[in-house]
Structure 1
Amino acid sequence: MHRTVKPHYRPEDVYVGTLLGRLEALHSGVTTMLDWYHVAQTHDHEDAAVAALRDARGRSVFCLGAGWGTTDPVDADIRRVRADLTGEGPVTLALGLRGPDDTDMDTVARELKLADELGLRTSLHVDPSGTSRTVADLREHGLLRGTTTFVHANGITDEELRMLADAGASLSVSPDVELKMGFGSPVTGRALAAGVRPTLSVDDVPSAGGDLFSTMRTAFAVQRGLDGGLRSRDLLEFTTIDAARSCGLDARTGSVTPGKDADLILLRTDDLTVFPVTDPAGSIVSAGHPGLVDTVLVAGQVVKRDGELVGVDLPALRARLLASRDRIAAAAGIPVDGTWQPVG
């Protein structure tokens, strides 16, 4: 994807793809989403992504980085976007680290220093193979922060998980994608045993869809199969207050608490797929799906009502997305019949 498809993305492609992706999440009841920006190219591309997140009217964290496999400095880009995303509005900024698996430790240190200066949380992808010691290496160099979220930590050791717990860092588990891509068992249970409250993520919607109901269900089933652990309420916390905490937003959202913003979803309980609802947490985790999402509010503003997104021209957006897909595929020389398989 990064080598074959990414070079052909124009800013308008970034805009419509980001907008539809964010709307899919809202439609599925995801009020807050971290967007790991993997299509870093130009300032216009960055601005298009931010504009799409704003236009979708959800609460979003724009996680901006330089792209993998480079040592190019990101200071100017981060400072430019930070001047726009001050932290007060619904779209905020995080720094997407390349990490020691993708670049040198000096680059990691430089990016963390920048994040500390600007008060930004960070996120990085971990080599899931278990052949590297990402967490241990960061701690050895004094670079393990409690403000960092580690993604796809399937291969890290129990000792490294305890290091994360000691530092106060967080984990993002993408159970569907991690299993499909052969990363090994999701780290959910081992993280809890080490004292780390994980969060859940989709990773990419072509592989897993854009809702967290199925993500919760996969994480629940896998861990129950491994050791019989986890409660339904754990999964709800992973996708609400624990997730808000990992984004640095737990003072504003993540729980229904006086003084916090009204980020709420209302689920239908009369649908035959869940009726009768005796145990709400159990029903949501074991049988929940986007079709139950009747109403969504973000900061008190209704963005979905009676099962429909408010103020969104979906037919027009669908047409724009299909045109974007077809143009990118033609430019990259790949078919759109499902036969092409990305390799990186």
Structure 2
Amino acid sequence: MVPLTTLLDWYHVAQTPEHEDAAVAALRDAPGRSVFCLGAGWGTPDPVDADIRRVRAALPGDGPVTMALGLRGPEATSMDTVARELKLAAALGLRTSLHVDLVGGAVADLREHGLLRDTTTFVHGNGLSDEELRMLADAGSTLSVSPDVDLKMGFGNPMTGRALAAGLRPTLSIDDVPSVGGDMFSTMRTAFAVQRGLDGGLRSRDLLAFTTIDAAASCGLATRIGSITPGKDADLILLRADDLTVFPVTDPAASIVSTGHPGLVDTVLVAGRVVKHNGVLLDMDLPGLRTRLLASRNRIAAAAGIPLDGTWRPQPAAQ
């Protein structure tokens, strides 16, 4: 299981309301805290406001699973639609998120139309100019960097250094778990190593802030989680310091960022409830989940005609 206490699920694959409800049910069954970021209109020709309102009514905002709205943004739809989606999000009290990859100008277009918000998180942003990054900082928006996906998919170097230079506090995201794994330790290490290689910048404590208090702020949860502070929920990950891969630990922050891995996770608490102890998840039927996952994988592969021996390769698009 991913060693996180809080997950933002950017869910833009729903084809029916039943898909949405099943996704929410899965997050509720998981032992952690989640933000269900429902992609507006991705599975249908146009957003269905009534359906977004239906999901919002089921996720009022004070439980372990909350809601955000995933925007398509000006790269994928009209500016009028972006404005309508932002208006809906504001009416429902939802934060928003959108992906901006290699194409620059999207942020400038949004600002020109008065659509930059301090409740919006932009993901990737590799095509954004330094000026556009400053626009985000001025608007109070946030930026989530996906270092492993950015590099693997050819988007470019992670934006951590450029974001900091523009006055942004970046956060880190995994984005594509099947492609790069769900390991935030590796995500921190990639961002750290690349930026150190580029300009020698960043410290280990920067990376820890990106993945804790800065991440909580970008999800609108900074008053509840992200730091060990009286009055906040007790969301904690306890790591073993006697494991031979890190022992002896002299600088905890440096050890976590440079050599940390999921095998170090001994105990996890979410809102004060112990959900993992001695390296074992509690109250979870993992054998049953594995059986269902294999059956689902096999069914989908058979329907798509994809062999499971590692020989399948995607076919080039028709010209």
The alignment status of 1:173 with 2:145, answered yes or no, reads yes
Contact 2:41 2:47 in 1 (8 A): no
Cα distance in 2, alignment partners of residues 183 and 337 from structure 1:
30
- Counterpart position of 1:43: 17
Cα distance in 1, alignment partners of residues 315 and 72 from structure 2:
21
Corresponding letter in the other structure for 1:129: L
Q: Per-residue displacement from partner, 1:271-311 (whole Å, max 9, x unpaired)?
A: 00000110000000000000000000000111100000001
- 171, 175, 194: which one aligns with 2:166: 194
Query: Percent identity between the aligned chains?
Result: 80
Cα distance in 1, alignment partners of residues 95 and 29 from structure 2:
23
Cα distance in 2, alignment partners of residues 57 and 239 from structure 1:
19
Cα distance change of structure 1 residues 201 and 168 upon mapping to structure 2, 3 Å threshold: same
Cα distance in 1, alignment partners of residues 213 and 268 from structure 2:
17
Range 59-68 or range 229-238, more displaced: 59-68
Q: TM-score, normalised by structure 1?
A: 0.89
Shift of 1:66: 3.1
Contact 1:65 1:74 in 2 (8 A): no
Cα distance in 2, alignment partners of residues 336 and 158 from structure 1:
44
Cα distance in 2, alignment partners of residues 187 and 298 from structure 1:
30
Cα distance in 1, alignment partners of residues 77 and 297 from structure 2:
31
Q: Per-residue displacement from partner, 1:175-220 (whole Å, max 9, x unpaired)?
A: 0011000001111100000000000011111211111100000000
Gaps of 5+ in 2: none
- Counterpart position of 2:313: 340
Cα distance in 1, alignment partners of residues 12 and 306 from structure 2:
20
- 269, 289, 309: which one aligns with 2:261: 289
1:61 is paired with a residue of what secondary structure? strand
The alignment status of 1:60 with 2:46, answered yes or no, reads no
Q: Per-residue displacement from partner, 1:49-68 (whole Å, max 9, x unpaired)?
A: 11110111211000002354
Cα distance in 2, alignment partners of residues 68 and 79 from structure 1:
16
Contact 1:244 1:253 in 2 (8 A): yes
Contact 2:121 2:142 in 1 (8 A): yes
Cα distance change of structure 1 residues 112 and 343 upon mapping to structure 2, 3 Å threshold: farther
Contact 1:263 1:298 in 2 (8 A): yes
Give the length in aligned residue pairs: 316
Contact 2:102 2:125 in 1 (8 A): no
Cα distance change of structure 1 residues 259 and 42 upon mapping to structure 2, 3 Å threshold: same
Q: Per-residue displacement from partner, 1:59-83 (whole Å, max 9, x unpaired)?
A: 1000002354965123112100110
Shift of 1:314: 1.0
The alignment status of 1:75 with 2:53, answered yes or no, reads no
Q: Per-residue displacement from partner, 1:230-287 (whole Å, max 9, x unpaired)?
A: 0000000000000000000000000000000000011000000000110000000000
- Counterpart position of 2:274: 302
- Counterpart position of 1:209: 181
Cα distance change of structure 1 residues 343 and 161 upon mapping to structure 2, 3 Å threshold: farther
1:196 is paired with a residue of what secondary structure? coil
Shift of 1:331: 1.7
Corresponding letter in the other structure for 2:313: W
Query: Equivalent residues in 2 for 1:104-143 (5 A)?
Result: 104-126=78-100, 128-130=101-103, 132-143=104-115
2:308 is paired with a residue of what secondary structure? coil
Task: Supply the RMSD in Å over aligned alpha carbons.
Answer: 1.5
Corresponding letter in the other structure for 1:100: P
Cα distance change of structure 1 residues 134 and 70 upon mapping to structure 2, 3 Å threshold: farther
The alignment status of 1:313 with 2:285, answered yes or no, reads yes
Corresponding letter in the other structure for 1:340: R
Cα distance in 2, alignment partners of residues 307 and 176 from structure 1:
26
Range 36-45 or range 251-260, more displaced: 36-45
Cα distance in 2, alignment partners of residues 113 and 327 from structure 1:
40
Shift of 1:129: 2.0
Cα distance change of structure 1 residues 343 and 32 upon mapping to structure 2, 3 Å threshold: farther
Cα distance in 2, alignment partners of residues 182 and 309 from structure 1:
36
Cα distance change of structure 1 residues 117 and 303 upon mapping to structure 2, 3 Å threshold: same
Corresponding letter in the other structure for 1:186: P
Corresponding letter in the other structure for 1:241: I
